[in-house]
Structure 1
Amino acid sequence: MLTIRKANCDDVFDAWDIRKTSVHAACAKHYPKAALSAWVDGTPTDKWAGVVESDFYVAVDQGSVVGTGMLTLESGQVDAIFVRPSHMGRGIGRKMLDFLEALAADQGLGAMRLDATLNAAPFYRSCGWSGDSVSTYRTARGLELACVPMTKLVIVGG
Protein backbone atom coordinates (compact mmCIF):
# COMPACT_ATOMS: atom_id res chain seq x y z
CA MET A 1 0.00 0.00 0.00
CA LEU A 2 1.36 3.39 -0.99
CA THR A 3 1.61 6.05 1.68
CA ILE A 4 2.80 9.65 1.47
CA ARG A 5 4.55 11.31 4.38
CA LYS A 6 6.68 14.35 5.17
CA ALA A 7 10.31 13.79 4.22
CA ASN A 8 13.04 13.81 6.86
CA CYS A 9 16.84 13.77 6.98
CA ASP A 10 16.90 10.01 6.33
CA ASP A 11 15.23 10.59 2.92
CA VAL A 12 17.87 12.91 1.43
CA PHE A 13 19.83 10.27 -0.48
CA ASP A 14 16.72 8.40 -1.66
CA ALA A 15 15.22 11.67 -2.92
CA TRP A 16 18.46 12.50 -4.75
CA ASP A 17 18.65 9.05 -6.35
CA ILE A 18 14.99 9.11 -7.41
CA ARG A 19 15.45 12.56 -8.97
CA LYS A 20 18.57 11.48 -10.85
CA THR A 21 17.26 8.15 -12.15
CA SER A 22 13.82 9.55 -12.97
CA VAL A 23 15.21 12.46 -14.98
CA HIS A 24 17.57 10.22 -16.95
CA ALA A 25 14.79 7.70 -17.65
CA ALA A 26 11.88 10.02 -18.42
CA CYS A 27 13.54 13.03 -20.02
CA ALA A 28 16.05 11.30 -22.33
CA LYS A 29 13.95 11.75 -25.50
CA HIS A 30 13.37 15.47 -24.85
CA TYR A 31 16.75 16.83 -23.71
CA PRO A 32 20.41 16.18 -24.56
CA LYS A 33 22.06 13.61 -22.28
CA ALA A 34 24.79 16.12 -21.34
CA ALA A 35 22.16 18.63 -20.19
CA LEU A 36 20.43 16.00 -18.05
CA SER A 37 23.73 14.96 -16.50
CA ALA A 38 24.63 18.58 -15.75
CA TRP A 39 21.22 18.98 -14.12
CA VAL A 40 21.03 15.93 -11.86
CA ASP A 41 24.34 14.10 -11.54
CA GLY A 42 26.68 14.52 -8.58
CA THR A 43 25.95 14.28 -4.89
CA PRO A 44 23.44 16.10 -2.69
CA THR A 45 24.55 19.34 -1.09
CA ASP A 46 23.68 20.61 2.39
CA LYS A 47 21.31 23.08 0.71
CA TRP A 48 19.55 20.19 -1.08
CA ALA A 49 19.26 18.29 2.22
CA GLY A 50 17.69 21.34 3.86
CA VAL A 51 15.10 21.68 1.08
CA VAL A 52 14.23 17.98 1.29
CA GLU A 53 13.75 18.24 5.04
CA SER A 54 11.68 21.43 4.88
CA ASP A 55 9.48 21.08 1.77
CA PHE A 56 9.58 17.50 0.42
CA TYR A 57 7.11 14.66 0.78
CA VAL A 58 7.89 11.07 -0.10
CA ALA A 59 5.78 8.23 -1.46
CA VAL A 60 6.56 4.96 0.31
CA ASP A 61 5.69 1.52 -1.05
CA GLN A 62 6.43 -1.57 1.05
CA GLY A 63 8.93 0.35 3.17
CA SER A 64 10.86 1.86 0.24
CA VAL A 65 10.79 5.48 -0.90
CA VAL A 66 9.61 5.36 -4.52
CA GLY A 67 8.57 8.94 -5.27
CA THR A 68 8.98 12.54 -4.22
CA GLY A 69 7.09 15.80 -4.39
CA MET A 70 7.63 19.28 -3.08
CA LEU A 71 5.32 22.17 -2.31
CA THR A 72 6.57 25.57 -1.23
CA LEU A 73 3.55 26.94 0.62
CA GLU A 74 4.66 30.60 0.50
CA SER A 75 4.62 30.63 -3.31
CA GLY A 76 2.38 27.71 -4.25
CA GLN A 77 5.29 26.31 -6.27
CA VAL A 78 5.27 22.55 -6.95
CA ASP A 79 8.59 20.88 -7.73
CA ALA A 80 10.36 17.55 -7.67
CA ILE A 81 7.53 15.24 -8.70
CA PHE A 82 9.79 12.29 -9.44
CA VAL A 83 9.10 8.55 -9.41
CA ARG A 84 11.67 5.78 -9.29
CA PRO A 85 11.85 4.31 -12.84
CA SER A 86 10.99 0.83 -11.51
CA HIS A 87 7.70 2.27 -10.23
CA MET A 88 6.72 4.55 -13.14
CA GLY A 89 3.29 4.01 -14.67
CA ARG A 90 1.65 2.96 -11.39
CA GLY A 91 -0.10 6.25 -10.61
CA ILE A 92 2.41 7.34 -7.96
CA GLY A 93 3.07 10.72 -9.57
CA ARG A 94 -0.68 11.40 -9.76
CA LYS A 95 -1.15 10.39 -6.13
CA MET A 96 1.68 12.70 -5.07
CA LEU A 97 0.23 15.57 -7.08
CA ASP A 98 -3.25 14.96 -5.60
CA PHE A 99 -1.68 14.96 -2.13
CA LEU A 100 0.11 18.27 -2.75
CA GLU A 101 -3.05 19.83 -4.20
CA ALA A 102 -5.02 18.78 -1.11
CA LEU A 103 -2.28 20.21 1.10
CA ALA A 104 -2.45 23.50 -0.81
CA ALA A 105 -6.23 23.61 -0.40
CA ASP A 106 -5.93 22.87 3.33
CA GLN A 107 -3.47 25.78 3.62
CA GLY A 108 -5.81 28.16 1.79
CA LEU A 109 -3.73 28.62 -1.36
CA GLY A 110 -5.75 29.92 -4.29
CA ALA A 111 -3.44 28.69 -7.03
CA MET A 112 -0.43 26.51 -7.61
CA ARG A 113 2.30 26.72 -10.23
CA LEU A 114 5.07 24.55 -11.60
CA ASP A 115 7.60 24.37 -14.42
CA ALA A 116 7.05 21.10 -16.26
CA THR A 117 9.72 19.34 -18.24
CA LEU A 118 8.68 18.89 -21.87
CA ASN A 119 7.97 15.20 -21.32
CA ALA A 120 5.86 15.84 -18.18
CA ALA A 121 3.57 18.61 -19.52
CA PRO A 122 0.99 16.14 -20.95
CA PHE A 123 0.83 14.38 -17.57
CA TYR A 124 0.12 17.64 -15.75
CA ARG A 125 -2.52 18.62 -18.33
CA SER A 126 -4.24 15.27 -17.71
CA CYS A 127 -4.32 16.24 -14.01
CA GLY A 128 -6.11 19.54 -14.73
CA TRP A 129 -3.11 21.88 -15.01
CA SER A 130 -2.99 24.61 -17.68
CA GLY A 131 -0.09 25.86 -19.73
CA ASP A 132 1.17 25.49 -23.29
CA SER A 133 3.94 28.04 -23.82
CA VAL A 134 7.54 26.87 -23.75
CA SER A 135 9.82 28.93 -21.55
CA THR A 136 13.22 28.55 -19.91
CA TYR A 137 13.84 26.97 -16.52
CA ARG A 138 17.07 27.90 -14.77
CA THR A 139 18.38 25.21 -12.44
CA ALA A 140 20.20 25.90 -9.19
CA ARG A 141 23.40 25.02 -11.05
CA GLY A 142 22.73 27.69 -13.68
CA LEU A 143 21.68 25.32 -16.47
CA GLU A 144 18.88 26.50 -18.76
CA LEU A 145 16.30 23.93 -19.88
CA ALA A 146 13.13 24.27 -21.91
CA CYS A 147 10.03 23.96 -19.73
CA VAL A 148 6.30 24.60 -19.77
CA PRO A 149 5.11 26.94 -16.98
CA MET A 150 1.77 25.61 -15.70
CA THR A 151 -0.86 26.67 -13.21
CA LYS A 152 -3.85 25.19 -11.46
CA LEU A 153 -6.51 26.87 -9.37
CA VAL A 154 -7.02 25.31 -5.96
CA ILE A 155 -10.52 24.68 -4.66
CA VAL A 156 -10.24 25.77 -1.04
CA GLY A 157 -12.58 23.98 1.34
CA GLY A 158 -13.74 21.62 -1.37
Structure 2
Amino acid sequence: MISIRKATQADSQLVQGIYHRAILGHCLGTYSPKIIRQWTQPVRPIMFEHLVEQYVYIAVEDQEPVGISCYNSQSEYLNGIYIEPRYMGSGIGKMLLQHQENLLISQGKIEIELRVTLNAVPFYRHLGYSFISESISKIPLQDEIIYSHMIKSLHRKSTQNQRLVLLQMSAA
Protein backbone atom coordinates (compact mmCIF):
# COMPACT_ATOMS: atom_id res chain seq x y z
CA MET A 1 0.00 0.00 0.00
CA ILE A 2 1.27 3.45 -0.93
CA SER A 3 1.15 6.34 1.51
CA ILE A 4 2.24 9.93 0.96
CA ARG A 5 3.84 12.04 3.66
CA LYS A 6 5.44 15.46 4.00
CA ALA A 7 9.23 15.36 3.90
CA THR A 8 11.37 16.59 6.79
CA GLN A 9 14.91 17.94 6.89
CA ALA A 10 16.04 14.46 7.92
CA ASP A 11 14.84 13.20 4.53
CA SER A 12 17.13 15.47 2.50
CA GLN A 13 19.67 12.79 1.51
CA LEU A 14 16.91 10.34 0.71
CA VAL A 15 15.13 12.93 -1.47
CA GLN A 16 18.34 13.85 -3.27
CA GLY A 17 18.99 10.15 -3.94
CA ILE A 18 15.54 9.59 -5.46
CA TYR A 19 15.93 12.78 -7.52
CA HIS A 20 19.30 11.67 -8.91
CA ARG A 21 18.27 8.06 -9.62
CA ALA A 22 15.07 9.22 -11.34
CA ILE A 23 17.00 11.59 -13.62
CA LEU A 24 19.63 8.96 -14.38
CA GLY A 25 16.98 6.30 -15.00
CA HIS A 26 14.45 8.30 -16.99
CA CYS A 27 16.24 11.13 -18.81
CA LEU A 28 19.35 9.56 -20.35
CA GLY A 29 17.69 8.86 -23.68
CA THR A 30 16.38 12.42 -23.96
CA TYR A 31 19.31 14.49 -22.66
CA SER A 32 23.05 14.07 -23.19
CA PRO A 33 25.25 12.33 -20.60
CA LYS A 34 27.02 15.67 -20.05
CA ILE A 35 23.72 17.41 -19.17
CA ILE A 36 22.74 14.50 -16.88
CA ARG A 37 26.08 14.72 -15.02
CA GLN A 38 25.67 18.48 -14.51
CA TRP A 39 22.03 18.06 -13.51
CA THR A 40 22.78 15.51 -10.82
CA GLN A 41 25.60 17.39 -9.09
CA PRO A 42 25.23 17.34 -5.30
CA VAL A 43 23.36 20.30 -3.77
CA ARG A 44 24.63 22.16 -0.72
CA PRO A 45 23.09 20.27 2.24
CA ILE A 46 21.93 23.30 4.29
CA MET A 47 20.11 24.86 1.35
CA PHE A 48 18.65 21.53 0.26
CA GLU A 49 17.38 20.58 3.75
CA HIS A 50 15.40 23.81 3.93
CA LEU A 51 13.86 23.24 0.48
CA VAL A 52 12.98 19.61 1.22
CA GLU A 53 11.04 20.49 4.35
CA GLN A 54 9.13 23.27 2.58
CA TYR A 55 8.30 21.73 -0.79
CA VAL A 56 8.60 17.93 -0.91
CA TYR A 57 6.19 15.03 -0.39
CA ILE A 58 7.37 11.42 -0.33
CA ALA A 59 5.50 8.35 -1.60
CA VAL A 60 6.24 5.31 0.56
CA GLU A 61 5.46 1.66 -0.17
CA ASP A 62 6.00 -0.85 2.65
CA GLN A 63 8.20 1.69 4.47
CA GLU A 64 10.37 2.19 1.36
CA PRO A 65 10.47 5.69 -0.20
CA VAL A 66 9.66 5.21 -3.90
CA GLY A 67 8.97 8.70 -5.24
CA ILE A 68 8.80 12.41 -4.49
CA SER A 69 6.86 15.45 -5.62
CA CYS A 70 8.19 18.98 -5.30
CA TYR A 71 5.87 22.00 -5.30
CA ASN A 72 7.12 25.54 -4.73
CA SER A 73 4.26 27.46 -3.13
CA GLN A 74 6.06 30.79 -3.61
CA SER A 75 6.39 30.45 -7.37
CA GLU A 76 3.23 28.29 -7.58
CA TYR A 77 5.06 25.80 -9.81
CA LEU A 78 5.18 22.06 -9.56
CA ASN A 79 8.91 21.48 -9.80
CA GLY A 80 8.60 17.80 -10.56
CA ILE A 81 7.64 14.26 -9.78
CA TYR A 82 10.56 11.87 -9.43
CA ILE A 83 10.06 8.11 -9.22
CA GLU A 84 12.59 5.40 -8.43
CA PRO A 85 13.34 3.78 -11.81
CA ARG A 86 12.12 0.29 -10.79
CA TYR A 87 8.71 1.78 -9.85
CA MET A 88 8.21 3.68 -13.11
CA GLY A 89 4.82 2.85 -14.63
CA SER A 90 3.35 1.54 -11.37
CA GLY A 91 0.98 4.50 -10.81
CA ILE A 92 3.05 6.17 -8.08
CA GLY A 93 3.70 9.28 -10.18
CA LYS A 94 -0.02 9.64 -10.85
CA MET A 95 -0.77 9.26 -7.12
CA LEU A 96 1.79 11.93 -6.19
CA LEU A 97 0.44 14.28 -8.84
CA GLN A 98 -3.17 13.79 -7.74
CA HIS A 99 -2.12 14.33 -4.12
CA GLN A 100 -0.45 17.61 -5.07
CA GLU A 101 -3.45 18.70 -7.14
CA ASN A 102 -5.83 17.95 -4.23
CA LEU A 103 -3.66 20.02 -1.88
CA LEU A 104 -3.79 22.93 -4.30
CA ILE A 105 -7.56 22.64 -4.77
CA SER A 106 -7.99 22.73 -0.97
CA GLN A 107 -5.96 25.98 -0.97
CA GLY A 108 -8.26 27.51 -3.57
CA LYS A 109 -5.86 27.29 -6.50
CA ILE A 110 -7.55 27.17 -9.90
CA GLU A 111 -4.66 25.92 -12.02
CA ILE A 112 -1.25 24.36 -11.80
CA GLU A 113 1.78 25.13 -13.95
CA LEU A 114 4.92 23.13 -14.33
CA ARG A 115 8.10 22.75 -16.29
CA VAL A 116 8.76 19.16 -17.25
CA THR A 117 11.50 17.26 -18.95
CA LEU A 118 10.79 16.42 -22.56
CA ASN A 119 10.51 12.71 -21.78
CA ALA A 120 7.74 13.42 -19.20
CA VAL A 121 5.40 15.32 -21.54
CA PRO A 122 3.30 12.23 -22.50
CA PHE A 123 2.72 11.40 -18.80
CA TYR A 124 1.41 14.88 -18.03
CA ARG A 125 -0.66 15.10 -21.23
CA HIS A 126 -2.31 11.80 -20.31
CA LEU A 127 -3.31 13.37 -16.99
CA GLY A 128 -4.91 16.46 -18.52
CA TYR A 129 -2.04 18.92 -18.81
CA SER A 130 -1.72 21.17 -21.86
CA PHE A 131 1.52 22.21 -23.52
CA ILE A 132 2.18 25.98 -23.45
CA SER A 133 5.74 26.40 -24.69
CA GLU A 134 9.30 25.19 -24.44
CA SER A 135 11.67 26.95 -22.08
CA ILE A 136 15.41 26.85 -21.52
CA SER A 137 17.14 26.76 -18.16
CA LYS A 138 20.76 27.06 -17.12
CA ILE A 139 20.21 26.73 -13.39
CA PRO A 140 21.93 24.80 -11.79
CA LEU A 141 23.40 23.58 -15.06
CA GLN A 142 26.34 24.98 -16.94
CA ASP A 143 24.74 24.04 -20.26
CA GLU A 144 21.20 24.76 -21.40
CA ILE A 145 18.40 22.27 -20.89
CA ILE A 146 15.08 22.39 -22.71
CA TYR A 147 11.86 21.92 -20.73
CA SER A 148 8.19 21.94 -21.66
CA HIS A 149 5.98 24.45 -19.86
CA MET A 150 2.55 22.90 -19.16
CA ILE A 151 -0.67 23.89 -17.39
CA LYS A 152 -3.86 22.29 -16.07
CA SER A 153 -7.10 23.72 -14.74
CA LEU A 154 -7.87 22.35 -11.28
CA HIS A 155 -11.54 23.33 -11.32
CA ARG A 156 -12.97 20.56 -13.41
CA LYS A 157 -16.61 21.55 -12.81
CA SER A 158 -16.05 25.16 -13.87
CA THR A 159 -14.16 23.98 -16.96
CA GLN A 160 -17.01 21.61 -17.85
CA ASN A 161 -19.54 24.41 -17.33
CA GLN A 162 -17.50 26.73 -19.56
CA ARG A 163 -17.49 24.07 -22.30
CA LEU A 164 -21.28 23.67 -22.00
CA VAL A 165 -21.78 27.42 -22.33
CA LEU A 166 -19.51 27.52 -25.39
CA LEU A 167 -21.39 24.59 -26.96
CA GLN A 168 -24.72 26.26 -26.28
CA MET A 169 -23.46 29.54 -27.77
CA SER A 170 -22.18 27.80 -30.91
CA ALA A 171 -25.48 25.92 -31.32
CA ALA A 172 -27.52 29.16 -31.14
- TM-score by length of structure 1 reads 0.92
CA–CA distance in structure 2, aligned partners of residues 143 and 12 of structure 1? 25
CA contact (8 A) 1:109 1:156 kept: no
CA–CA distance in structure 2, aligned partners of residues 143 and 155 of structure 1? 37
Over alpha carbons, which structure has the higher Rg? 2
The aligned amino acid for 1:88 is: M
Could you list the runs of 5+ residues in structure 2 that have no partner in the other structure?
Answer: 159-172
CA–CA distance in structure 2, aligned partners of residues 86 and 125 of structure 1? 22
Report the CA distance shift for 1:122/1:60 in structure 2 as closer, same or farther (over 3 A).
Answer: same
In structure 2, the residue matched to 1:104 is 104
Shift of 1:43: 5.0
The aligned amino acid for 1:85 is: P
Report the CA distance shift for 1:77/1:132 in structure 2 as closer, same or farther (over 3 A).
Answer: closer
Report the CA distance shift for 1:5/1:116 in structure 2 as closer, same or farther (over 3 A).
Answer: same
Query: How many residues get paired?
Result: 158
In structure 1, the residue matched to 2:122 is 122
Report the CA distance shift for 1:57/1:90 in structure 2 as closer, same or farther (over 3 A).
Answer: same
- TM-score by length of structure 2 reads 0.85
- Runs of 4+ aligned structure 1 residues displaced above 6 Å come to none
Shift of 1:64: 1.1
Q: Percent identity?
A: 29
CA–CA distance in structure 2, aligned partners of residues 58 and 36 of structure 1? 23
Indicate the RMSD between aligned Cα atoms, in angstroms: 1.9
Report the CA distance shift for 1:110/1:86 in structure 2 as closer, same or farther (over 3 A).
Answer: same
User: What SS does structure 1 have at the residue aligned with 2:131?
Assistant: coil
CA–CA distance in structure 2, aligned partners of residues 118 and 132 of structure 1? 13
In structure 2, the residue matched to 1:135 is 135
User: What SS does structure 1 have at the residue aligned with 2:74?
Assistant: coil
CA contact (8 A) 2:130 2:151 kept: yes
CA–CA distance in structure 2, aligned partners of residues 133 and 157 of structure 1? 26
